[in-house]
Amino acid sequence: MAAAAAAAAEAVAPAGVSADAADTAAEGAADAGSAEVAPDSAADSAADSAAPSGPVSITVQPGFTLWAIARENLGDGVMYVQVFEANKAQIKNPDLIYPGQVFTIPKP
């Protein structure tokens, strides 16, 4: 491949430029094409702003538990206490939740 780049550099080298200088420039251009590009921070911040900013609501389905709801939405099952506190008006006993209930999930 280097021979092909050198041949191309010789064919394209302008008058007064040595073939070695053109070859070095051709290799630099080839290396630049394979360089990794850093992620665009503006795109990352746009993705972050697309996340829901308001409170999240969940409708209880058969088999749901406060522990599982907390684990899925807050990252840790022990956070069920926060879900219970946020929905205390609807939950008399944290072991008894019913399908159809709509709970607000607090932000972590």
Joined tokens for residue 94: 């944290």
pLDDT-derived band at 34 (thresholds 50, 70, 90) equals very low
pTM beyond 0.85, yes or no: no
Structure tokens at 5: 């780049």
Q: At a CB cut-off of 8 Å and minimum separation 6, what does 64 contact?
A: 97, 99
Q: Give percent of the chain above pLDDT 70.
A: 50
**Is pLDDT at 83 greater than 80 in this prediction?**
yes
Going by their DSSP bridges, the two strands 102-105 and 56-59 should be labelled as antiparallel
Q: Report pLDDT digits (tens) over 67-81.
A: 999 999 999 999 999
Enumerate the H helices of the chain as residue ranges.
Answer: 2-12, 19-33, 41-49, 66-74, 80-86
Per cent of the chain over pLDDT 90 is: 47
Domains in the chain: ranges and CATH? 2-33 (no CATH), 54-105 (3.10.350.10)
